[in-house]
Amino acid sequence: MPKKVINSGLLLALAKDYNLGFAPSGNINLVVSPICIKLKIGPEEAVNGAKINGANAVDLEHKVGLITIGKNVILILIKAINSYATIP
């Protein structure tokens, strides 16, 4: 299904429901990784779906969604990575 969305030209937005009763984690990798593995979505598409497309879906793309000047970001780098493709 997500591949059909992407191939049709629509933006795929991914989100994590931070629900204390059911899913008590704000870790977006718990969304991005299974999408890449189970649904064969590329890392770039999955990260875009979780960041800029997710922000766009809730009309916040002017404030968040990209790491760039003028936008709010919470970014924690624990160790160096070779490519965004290693995130999922």
Average pLDDT for 39-55: 86
The mean of the pLDDT values for the chain is 80
Domain layout of the chain by residue ranges: 2-86
- How far is Cα 3 from Cα 20, in angstroms, rounded to an integer? 30
- How far is Cα 10 from Cα 61, in angstroms, rounded to an integer? 16
Question: Confidence band (pLDDT; 50, 70, 90) for 3?
Answer: confident
What is the model's pLDDT at position 24? Answer: 67
- How far is Cα 78 from Cα 29, in angstroms, rounded to an integer? 14
Q: Which pTM value belongs to this model?
A: 0.66
